[in-house]
Structure 1
Amino acid sequence: MKKYIGTKQIEAEPMTRGDAWGKHLLREKPSTENFDDEGYHVRYEYGYESWSPKDVFEKAYKVADTPLDRMYIEYNELMDKHNKLVLFLGRKDAVEIAGENQITLMEVQKVQMHDYLLTLKERIGLMKK
Structure 2
Amino acid sequence: MPSSPATILFDGVCNLCNGFVQFVIRHDRQRRFHFAALQSEAARALLARHGQPLPAPEPDSVVLVENGRVYTHSEAILHIAAGLGGWWRALALGRVLPRPLRDAAYRWVARHRYQWFGRQNSCMLPTPDLKARFL
- Greater share of residues in helix: 1
The alignment's TM-score, normalised by the length of structure 2, stands at 0.28
Under a length normalisation based on structure 1, what TM-score does the superposition of the two structures give? Answer: 0.29
Which structure's relative contact order is higher, taking Cα pairs within 8 Å and 6+ residues apart? 2
